[in-house]
Chains A and B, each alone.
Chain A
Amino acid sequence: MNMIADIPISLIVLCSGLGLILTGLWGMLTQRNMIRIIVGFSLMDTGIHMVMVSIGYVTGGTAPIINDAVPMAEAASRIVDPVPSALVLTAIVIGLGVTAVMLSFAVRIYKARKTLMIDELTESKW
């Protein structure tokens, strides 16, 4: 129990993020159903966000909001890095947009071919 408590929290987030990236990549490479491939992409995306957030963590840091809880004078020593957080905010929105476009492609392909399995779409295969 004590050994688990000694692991820094950001390392746990980092490892979960890396695990999610691997899971997502495995899903994207092995699954044949388009929806599952998109789910894999989403998992990988989330994993990347978690890795980015964990890299910005500073030991004992709190949210980078300077108010009564974190006075301005102590700010530099008590907050986590705001830059990765801002970057992840951007990345989440972009990931959402990309997922939406992929899903609408899947809908279109299903309407045209009545299938979601990529094995049956042989035109782009070589």
Chain B
Amino acid sequence: MIKRIFIFLMLALMAMIFFNLAASYTENSSLSKLGLYYAEKGPQELGAPNLVTAVVVTYRGLDTLGEVTVLFISAAGVGLLLRRTRRKRGDEIPTREALSSDDLERGDRAEETAGVHKPASEIVETATELLLPMVILFGIYVFINGHLSPGGGFQGGAIIASGTMFLLLALPESHISRLMIAITESLSGFSYVVIGVLGVIMAGGFLDNRIMELGNYGELFSAGAIPLIYTFVGLKVGFELSAVLDRFRKEDTGPV
């Protein structure tokens, strides 16, 4: 009971703080100094129409690298926590598919096919085949146009991961190659850092986007290295989130 009162008291105090905050709130009528600098100098300096992208990728590029690292560590943590413990089971019936796949994946496949999955209907299968490429294409569109329109690497990556989610929901037996995920993810992460170091050598500093021509303002191939960086970020985020989703699924399909 004392605990309840204590919680209630704490929430009431928090609510009081928040109420004062909201009561004395006045809407900004002009930009902050930093925002003003970005608004005035950003387009000329970096050639990126989307100022949020300019801030995320270039002005605060190091923070974004840290962010990608945090996401990587959390994906690795999920992978570590939900890693599969291989159990010996005598009653499993290996199918043709399981036998043809390589040794490393054999356990996974056999356990999955031994589960009680009802196969997806033809309508679901056809719709998945039709829609999945479109979802992934839309994700790629979003991260390639990150410097021109609302969007960017993280959003595009999330859309690609939603495509993976779609695949896993529609066809739970489908197999996602973990090796492909690992290779794409590490290559794009590595290229991201290489571009950052190139910025130190060829331009003004780490992750400076002016290592390439700024190009015509507002065109797809403009704003220096921003589309390139966002492509790598998008691929990395998309594959990392797909790996996380895959981990959560694998856990579920195994026998209890």
Which A residues are closer than 8 A to B by beta carbons?
A: 8, 10-11, 14-15, 18, 21-22, 25-26, 29-30, 55-59, 63-67, 72, 75-77, 79, 81-83, 85-86, 89-90, 92-94, 96-98, 100-101, 103-105, 107-108
- Give residues of chain B (152-192) contacting chain A, Cβ–Cβ below 8 Å: 152, 154
Q: Is the CB of A64 within 8 A of B218?
A: no
Taking the closest CB of chain B, its distance from the CB of A126, in whole angstroms, is: 14
Q: Is the CB of B82 within 8 A of A107?
A: yes
Q: Is the CB of A10 within 8 A of B154?
A: no
Question: For residue B252, which residue of chain A has the nearest CB?
Answer: A107
Q: Is the CB of B18 within 8 A of A18?
A: yes
Question: In the docked arrangement, what's the CA distance between A79 and B248, Å?
Answer: 41
Q: Is the CB of B34 within 8 A of A83?
A: yes
Question: In the docked arrangement, what's the CA distance between A67 and B60, Å?
Answer: 22
Select one of A14, A29, A90, A104 contacting B63, CB under 8 A.
A90
Taking the closest CB of chain A, its distance from the CB of B22, in whole angstroms, is: 5
Chain A residues within 8 Å of B94, by CB: none
Q: Is the CB of A98 within 8 A of B32?
A: no
Q: Is the CB of A97 within 8 A of B148?
A: no
Question: In the docked arrangement, what's the CA distance between A56 and B51, Å?
Answer: 14
Interface string of B196-213 (1 = CB under 8 A from A): 000000000000000000
- Chain A interface helix/strand/loop/mixed: helix
Question: In the docked arrangement, what's the CA distance between A89 and B40, Å?
Answer: 22
- Give residues of chain B (61-89) contacting chain A, Cβ–Cβ below 8 Å: 63-64, 67, 70-71, 73-75, 77-78, 81-82
Question: For residue B54, which residue of chain A has the nearest CB?
Answer: A82
Chain B residues within 8 Å of A64, by CB: 38-39, 50-52
Give the segment of B7-15, B98-106, B118-126, B128-136 that binds chain A: B7-15
Q: Is the CB of A22 within 8 A of B11?
A: yes
- Give residues of chain B (8-56) contacting chain A, Cβ–Cβ below 8 Å: 10-11, 14-15, 18, 21-22, 25, 27-32, 34-36, 38-40, 42-43, 49-52, 54-56
Q: Is the CB of A97 within 8 A of B70?
A: yes
Chain B residues within 8 Å of A56, by CB: 28, 35
Q: Is the CB of B248 within 8 A of A82?
A: no
Q: Is the CB of A75 within 8 A of B56?
A: no
Q: What 9 A-B pairs are tightest by C-beta distance, nearest first?
A: A97-B74, A64-B51, A81-B35, A82-B51, A86-B55, A104-B81, A18-B18, A104-B78, A8-B27
Question: In the docked arrangement, what's the CA distance between A79 and B51, Å?
Answer: 10
Question: For residue A106, which residue of chain B has the nearest CB?
Answer: B81
- Give residues of chain B (198-256) contacting chain A, Cβ–Cβ below 8 Å: 218, 237, 241, 244, 247-248, 251
Question: For residue B251, which residue of chain A has the nearest CB?
Answer: A107
Chain A residues within 8 Å of B247, by CB: 104
Chain A residues within 8 Å of B244, by CB: 100
Question: In the docked arrangement, what's the CA distance between A90 and B52, Å?
Answer: 11
B115 at the A interface (CB under 8 A): no
